[in-house]
Amino acid sequence: MTLRPRQGASIPVSDLQRASHPQRALTLHRGRASGPAGAVPPRRLREQDEINVPESAALELIDQPRPSKRHTLSRSLLPQDLPDPCVVRADGVYWVYTTNSVTMGNVPLLRTGDLQQTLTYVCDAMPTLPAWAQRGLTWAPEVTRLPNGGFALYFTARLIGTGVQVIGCALSDSPQGPFIAADRPMIEMRALGGAIDAGTLVREDGTAYLYWKNDGNAVGLPTTLWGAQLSPCGRFIGCARPLLGASHEWECELVEAPQVIEEGDHFHLIYACGEYDNASYAQGHAVGASPLGPFRKSTEPLLATVGALHGPGHACAFRDHAGEWHLMYHAWTRGAVGYKAKGKRTLRLSRLRIQGERVWTEG
């Protein structure tokens, strides 16, 4: 039996755990980590907690500018394979974290003082993996500043002995690390295929949210983007909510890598979609009036294959020193798409323009 939540329904976690299909849904564990004082890892979801399913089937679509060569021709910032970037502005510089590298470690960290300058490799921001994580499969780092001035790193790793990707959390006093991981994963969702691709939103008042994807495509189930509010000490507040799934043909039945940014009265959810290893990979966009939606999707992708740029996605939106928005992402280059073709997912940078509910890229 496969449990599929009805629209508008609230599903107690205890019901999901009793299903004959091993669909135990969300598993949030308490763990221990050394790091900034006052940082407390998240708790396990209680039986009385619920997963709220928002009304979302009849979402209005937003007309989005079609990707054009002017919008998406972006040069590689570095020749190395460095996918899934996260950009943090701190201490007067930009810190860029990426998926693991054979030569640069578990969480490669690069920096630049100016977006016009070359990125310079700094170090492995998490040189020691937790005992539960399989080496060589540390993906999609997301770093955010904590209210106490420290930093949290959310990362995807494979849980040893299971083959399942899960999300872990690590803490540090500095954006350079070293980040020290909790002794248990933060989110597992094993029965929904696992959990990957964490993203964060921290509002000006300090309210924080965590977003992620259940890795359903790994087990023949749908993929969904999820979100939950976090307390100042890192605990989950209330319910984890499914935000949206794949519905457009160009999404190829897969959504992942969510990030929400706030601009004016709108919350913009940007996400990747399609197959990462070919030209179908793209970047989507949706907009809502609150951090947990409901969100209305744009009709066209924010980024898509055009010219020599193939499979752009897993983008990170961030502000520069002047407050202007930018988008860093990875992409293949025409003629070398996919690892079988000896391709590399190299870093790209574009300006991100936001006008009301609409967003587009330039450069």
- pLDDT tens figures, 106-122: 999 999 999 988 999 99
**What is the gyration radius of the CA atoms in the chain, in angstroms?**
19
Look at residue 76 in the predicted model and tell me its pLDDT.
77
Please report which confidence band the pLDDT of residue 16 belongs to, taking 50, 70 and 90 as the band edges.
Answer: very low
**Helix, strand, or coil (residue 99):** coil
Please tell me the number of Cα atoms within 13 Å of 148 on its side-chain side: 16
Query: How many whole angstroms separate alpha carbon 39 and alpha carbon 45?
Result: 18
What is the distance between the alpha carbons of residues 192 and 213, in angstroms, rounded to a whole number? 10
To the query of whether residue 47 is one of the catalytic residues in this protein, the response is: no
Q: Where are the domains of the chain?
A: 81-362
Q: Are 217 and 275 in contact (CB under 8 A)?
A: no
Listed in sequence order, the residues at least 6 apart from 212 whose beta carbon sits closer than 8 Å to its beta carbon are: 167, 187, 195, 196, 197, 198, 199, 225, 226, 227, 258
Is residue 242 a contact partner of residue 274, using CB atoms and an 8 Å limit? no
pLDDT of residue 85: 98
Asked whether 205 and 194 are in contact (CB, 8 A), the reply is no
The answer for residues whose C-beta is within 8 angstroms of residue 220's C-beta and 6 or more apart is none
Tell me which of 81, 84, 188, 251 is the catalytic residue.
84
Pick from 316, 225, 243, 318: which is nearest to 55 by CA? 243
H-type alpha helices, 13-140? 13-17, 69-72
Tell me which CATH homologous superfamily contains domain 81-362: Glycosyl hydrolase domain; family 43 (2.115.10.20)
- What's the pLDDT tens digit per position in 47-93? 333 333 333 323 345 555 554 433 444 667 899 999 999 999 999 99
- Mean pLDDT (the chain) is 84
- Maximal C-alpha separation, the chain: 56
For residue 168, pLDDT beyond 50: yes
> pLDDT exceeding 90 applies to what percent of the chain?
74
Non-local CB neighbours of 321 within 8 Å, separated by 6+ positions: 89
Among the options 124, 197, 215, 256, which is catalytic?
A: 256
Q: Quick one: which H or E segment has residue 289?
A: none
Q: What is the pLDDT of residue 80?
A: 94
Smallest CA-to-CA distance from 172 within 31, 35, 33 is with 35
Q: Average pLDDT for residues 11-27, to the nearest whole number? A: 31
What is the tens place of the pLDDT at every residue in 287-297? Answer: 999 999 999 99
Say whether 256 is catalytic: yes
Bridge partners of 355, per DSSP, are: 358
Over range 255-282, report the average pLDDT: 98
| pTM (whole model) above 0.95 | no
Q: Is residue 90 within a helix (H) or strand (E), and if so which, with residue range?
A: strand 86-90
Compute the average pLDDT of residues 227-238. Answer: 88
Peptide linkage before 294 cis (omega within 30 of 0): yes
What mean pLDDT is predicted for residues 269-286? 98
Instruction: State the pLDDT at residue 33.
Output: 39
pLDDT > 70 in the chain, percent: 79
